Amino acid sequence: MTESKPSPNPGQAIQVQGIRKHFGHLEALRGVDFELRKGEFLSLFGPNGAGKTTLIGILSALSRPSSGTALVAGYDVKEADPAMRREIGVISHASFLYADLSPLENIRFFATMYGVESAEERAIAVIDEVGLKPRMHDRVRTFSRGMLQRLSIARAIVHNPSILFLDEPYTGLDQHASGILKEQLQALHTDQRTILMTTHDFSRGLDMCDRVAIMVRGKLALWESADQLDPAGFERLYLEKVAQAGRG
């Protein structure tokens, strides 16, 4: 099999072609193809074990695809160029925060890692943005789930990335906290920033996205423009697609 490589296109933030990922005998991704334009917001749905987290891991160059190519911000993820890493921010199941440090110490540390200039001021600014300034000297270990999640956002955006990967950001948040998160995501979703979010929450996911995808068993079962979809009928469509792809 010859691999055709997508040619870098400045209008596209993410170009994925034929991505596969094996874990031993298990094939977690079985050929994923899609392109996401700059500034677009993609909501990725799919049942547990579909391969969503695996895909984000590959796109953020944490793990390597078994085959296929992916360009993120024009860089091949296999090369893991530092310039590419600077374009990416990730919010995942884990907070990536040091429990014994304070928010300020954490964010300033990551700012330094990303080579952000005047790390201290920038850290304070993003902590303020997520509303944690009053607690910025407390120990992160004492934070609630919602506060941790907000601090994760601060960590992910401290270097002002143009692409954000959000892996189930609403998990474990109460209504109030997910309301705040939604507002923050809306503020982050500018023309300049591309967002890929996985979620199990249909209404949150469909709320502000431009594109909708459903992944089942390592393949995209649906790829659609958000304005082509009827939110009221989405649950039925989702269940249909999952059942269809599950048979195939």
Partner 1 sequence: MNTYLSQVKAIVWKDFVTELKTRELFSSMFVFAILVMLIFIFSINLSIVDANQVGPGVLWVAILFAGTLGLNRSFTLEKENGCLQGLMLAPVDRSAIYFGKMLSNLAFLLIMEAFLLPVFMIFFNVDLVSHLTPLLAVVFMGTLGFSALGTLLSSLSSNLKTREIMLPILLYPLIVPIAIGSVRLTGQVLDGKSLADMMNWVGLILCFDIIFISASIMTIDHILEE
Ligand X SMILES: Nc1ncnc2c1ncn2[C@@H]1O[C@H](COP(=O)(O)OP(=O)(O)OP(=O)(O)O)[C@@H](O)[C@H]1O
Binding site for ligand X (CB under 6 A): 23, 26, 28, 46, 48-54
- Which residues pair with residue 214 across a beta bridge? 45, 222
137 lies in the site for partner 1, by CB under 8 A: no
DSSP, collapsed to helix, strand or coil, labels residue 72 as strand
Nearer to Mg ion, 19 or 107 (CB): 19
**Count of CB atoms situated within 10 Å of the CB of 75:** 19
The strand order across the sheet containing 211-216 reads 88-91, 163-167, 194-198, 41-45, 211-216, 219-225
For residue 110, the partner it binds in Mg ion, partner 1, ligand X, none, with Cβ less than 5 to 8 A by kind, is partner 1
Smallest gap from Cβ 100 to ligand X, in A, equals 27
Nearer to ligand X, 171 or 190 (CB): 171
For residue 28, the partner it binds in partner 1, Mg ion, ligand X, none, with Cβ less than 5 to 8 A by kind, is ligand X
101 lies in the site for partner 1, by CB under 8 A: yes
Nearer to ligand X, 40 or 167 (CB): 167
Smallest gap from Cβ 203 to ligand X, in A, equals 17
Residue of 83, 144, 192, 235 that binds partner 1 (CB under 8 A): 83
Task: For residues 212 and 43, give the distance between their C-alpha atoms in angstroms, rounded to a whole number.
Answer: 5
63 lies in the site for Mg ion, by CB under 5 A: no
Judged by CB under 8 A, the stretch of 28-36, 78-86, 129-137, 184-192 that binds partner 1 is 78-86
Judged by CB under 5 A, the stretch of 31-39, 51-59, 119-127, 237-245 that binds Mg ion is 51-59
Q: In the structure encoding, which two tokens stand for residue 83, read together? A: 């310039």
Task: For residues 89 and 6, give the distance between their C-alpha atoms in angstroms, rounded to a whole number.
Answer: 23
53 lies in the site for Mg ion, by CB under 5 A: yes
Smallest gap from Cβ 205 to partner 1, in A, equals 23
Contact 14, 196 (CB under 8 A): yes
Nearer to partner 1, 53 or 69 (CB): 53
Task: For residues 25 and 5, give the distance between their C-alpha atoms in angstroms, rounded to a whole number.
Answer: 26
- Cα–Cα distances in angstroms (integers) from residue 37 to residues 34, 127, 148, 210, in the given order: 10, 29, 30, 10
Task: For residues 217 and 87, give the distance between their C-alpha atoms in angstroms, rounded to a whole number.
Answer: 29
144 lies in the site for partner 1, by CB under 8 A: no
